[in-house]
Amino acid sequence: MIGIDLFAGAGGMSLGARRSGVDVQIVVESDKWAATTYEANHMPKFGVFANDIREFEPVELGARRKPLVVFGGPPCQGFSTSNQKTRTAQNENNWLFEEFLRVVKHYMPDWVVFENVRGILETEGGLFVEKIANDLMSMGYEVNYDVLCATDFGVPQKRSRFFLIASLHGRSFVFPKPDKKRPKVTVKQAISDLPDVENGANTCELPYKYKARATYASSLRNGESFAKNNLVTNNGSLIVDRYRHIPQGGNWENIPDRLMGNYKNKSRCHTGIYRRLEEDKPSVVIGNFRKNMLVHPTKHRGLSVREAARLQSFPDDFVFTGSIGFQQQQVGNAVPPLLAEAIFRELMKQSS
């Protein structure tokens, strides 16, 4: 099967697709550093169109002898339940899915995989989901959608994602079922073998702390001797002092008022701010882990880029490029590769 990845980011969905046997050949991603990361790890046949998708002119694939899938996730910030200000039809970025549909209409692929936050189901009373589904059905597609939780598919993170799968050949896609007997992977199992770094760490490549003791961590090492992207935001002393008061599972509410004087109204802080991860449970949503200031379970610092990548299920040989801020954004925006792989493995089965 040949793949076209739109709004590709660093390539989390592509990684899951490739592991399932999809040959991803055409890629569109407007962010310069995400596109650079994508090319460094994937090297697609036609390179990466690193520009606004509205400027993208479809590349001709020639005579198709293999099935084709177009997949991707248009920007989701406007659909997020934590982003009420721009969660409306007036936010023009909420309409970029129309560019996704434009590309679908040009290629008329055998399969379409549309991914987004679960909040898209609620935005404007489901207006966007209804329009996407209706537009695809008007092109002749059979449409099914569901919300999957990443922890059900081996990802150590409580991250729910919306997937809409469409078939041009009248097939009703059956979503993969989680193995309820499979234990959830914890934060400790995911990151405890990674290098011991401190606040402000800026050495990219470091040796592992010890041999991986958990199956999950071992599976992501891919034979590597060193872990890369061990970068941590350099927080000021006031922020580090705040961290010291937060227990595992706690957040800003545990920080004394005397240390929160720069907040006009501390009570209006989002519950995800200053969240310290619990080592014996899956992580909360990674998202923008720098802005949310997610705290390491046992150290008074934020997460390293590699720790966050592990919690997203990226293998250790997947390298992120750009400054630390760009790397953090790429990791946080990504679809967990293991979750994407579950979708594409099922799609490959049902397309045969």
* Amino acid (1-letter code) at residue 172: S
SS3 117: strand
Which has the closest alpha carbon to 341: 129, 66, 137, 154? 154
CB 58, CB 103: distance < 8 Å: yes
Continuous segment of H or E residues that includes residue 305: helix 305-311
- Catalytic machinery residues: 76
Quote the CA–CA distance of 250 and 147 in Å, as a whole number: 27
DSSP reduced 3-state for 112: strand
Q: Which positions ≥6 away from 110 have C-beta within 8 Å?
A: 1, 67, 68, 69, 167, 168, 169, 351
**Sheet harboring 160-167: ordered strands across?**
48-49, 23-28, 2-6, 68-72, 111-117, 160-167, 142-149
User: CA 173 → CA 116, 128, 161, distances in Å?
Assistant: 17, 20, 17
User: In angstroms, what CA-CA distances link 293 with 31, 60, 74, 300, 303?
Assistant: 23, 44, 25, 11, 8
Measured at the alpha carbon of residue 341, what is the angle toward residues 333 and 226, in degrees to the nearest 5?
A: 70
> Terminal CA-to-CA distance of the chain, rounded, Å?
10
In the block, tokens 């882990």 appear at 289
